[in-house]
Structure 1
Amino acid sequence: MQCTACPNSFTAVLSLSHPGEDKEDAPNNVNVQVTPPTEPSTSQPVKEEEKKDLPEGNETQEVGGSGGSDDSEDSDEDSDDEDSDEKEEEEDEEENDKPLSLEWPDTRRKQATYLFLLPIVFPLWLTVPDVRSAASKKFFAMTFLGSIIWIAVFSYLMVWWAHQVGETVGISEEIMGLTILAAGTSIPDLITSVIVARKGLGDMAVSSSVGSNIFDITVGLPGPWLMYSLINGFTPVAVSSNGLFCAIVLLFLMLLFVIFSIAVCKWKMNKILGCIMFALYFFFLVVSVMLEDRIIMCPVSI
């Protein structure tokens, strides 16, 4: 075999012969020309220049491969979901900002809700100006006072109905106050807290729940007692309860546990904090009912 080298290629000359034959009688030589690959130093700049000439989309597709396209599709789906959620929130806010309308709705679900809430909504629509309309914005003071009056009316009806149910079933007034009345008066706080929490205002939700209870204790109870004393010649109001002292101590302990649980959750509202709050409420409810029914005796009686 003979090999001759050229500047950019080399030629391999193969001599094929059969056994027993001389080299002179050998068949024609077979010439194979092979071109060597280019050097890496010369090929790399060319690839970089080609990448520069490619558009940005093709370059990312070449680097990422099929995975890049999947990631882009996932990101597009996530963005579509976020856009749909934002649109739904905007539509809900727009509906809440619109004035109250008593027009007959289209769907059956809305029609059932309309008939169920009509005995409550219709008197409010007649007596309380809707400040969401441009013509009624100047009557905001009347709306504020009318709302307070209607809250008092509904509260009186709720207490009266709860008292009648308690007497019929055989449940004491203290237990009705700890369960049904407490839940009924806290539903508006729950609704407002959920609304502001969905808007991302967690601090307002927590402060509303705490501030409403402080308002009930410092204003809601002394106000009616003061009015009763003024009407009846400053006669004191007798308040008696089987475990009132222990219930007050338990209330302060619950407040400390609430603050401690919020600190454990790193001052963030999450599912763990919600479960802890539910557990604390049921614990307080059970202990208070046991104190009222004298299942647990309080060492200090009032």
Structure 2
Amino acid sequence: MEIEQPIDMTFPNTFCKQCTYIALLPIMFPLYLTLPDVKKPHRKKFVIFSFIGSILWIAFYSYLMVWWATTIGVTIGIPTEIMGLTILAAGTSIPDLITSVIVARKGLGDMAVSSSIGSNLFDICVGLPLPWLFYFIYFYAAKGTVTLISVTSNGLVCSVGMLFAMLLILVISIGLSKWKMSKRFGIVMMGAYVVFCVISVILEMNIISCPLRMVGGSC
């Protein structure tokens, strides 16, 4: 197994690496200053602090990403639903992508697939309802009443249906690839994602209407 080296913040020599270094410096430098590098033998005992600190930094960067994406969407006239389906969805999935690439290169294909599915289940079952629960608890304790949060997505039901279809395509694609992660498997899944994004954007822009709607109007 490849031994991971400690983070090196020295300026690289090649042009491509220099561009990457400059682009990532605003993110990497605060992390380098505040998080112990547990890849160094004498700092392995601080792994818990690095883990908790990493979660806090992810929360901070996520807040900035949502803020900037919302501002950009409002400025150029892109609905927040579409920004959530595209920019925010891709941005919040980058850590999952990096994790899957790392474990796949180590030959842990099962972990890569399980991580991608498990992270989405966690987002839906924990990441989405938990903030709402805290919101209701806080406002009910402060005011004795709460205001319900309205979900105004035009194609939510169809998007959920397509999500189940994507899971089915995932299983079928892995089966056709003889239960191995191949280039054909990657191409099929990328194509399915593009189709999902296109259809979801069309639904949100009301170019076509979702035939399935929740009771009470838009969903």
Aligned pairs for 1:114-263 (under 5 A) are 114-233=21-140, 235=146, 236-263=148-175
- Aligned residue number for residue 301 of structure 1: 213
The 1-side partners of 2:18 and 2:92 are apart by 27
- Secondary structure, aligned partner of 1:242: coil
Task: Name the % identity.
Answer: 59
Q: Gaps (5+ residues) in structure 1?
A: 1-89
Determine which structure has greater relative contact order: mean sequence separation of CA pairs < 8 Å that are 6+ residues apart, divided by chain length. 2
Aligned pairs for 1:73-84 (under 5 A) are none
Structure in which a larger fraction of residues adopt strand: 1
The one-letter code matched in structure 2 to 1:247 is S
Scaled by the length of structure 1, what TM-score is found?
A: 0.64
Instruction: Output the aligned Cα RMSD.
Output: 1.9
Scaled by the length of structure 2, what TM-score is found?
A: 0.87
1:123-160 deviations in whole A, cap 9, x for unaligned? 11111111112232222221111000000000011111
- Secondary structure, aligned partner of 1:237: coil
The 2-side partners of 1:108 and 1:241 are apart by 45
Residues 229, 237 of structure 1: 8 Å contact kept: no
The 2-side partners of 1:300 and 1:113 are apart by 45
Are 1:103 and 2:10 an aligned pair? Answer: yes
Aligned-pair CA distance for 1:237: 2.7
Q: 1:199 to 1:134 in 2, by over 3 A?
A: closer
Q: Gaps (5+ residues) in structure 2?
A: 215-219
Aligned length: 209
| Larger Cα-atom Rg | 1
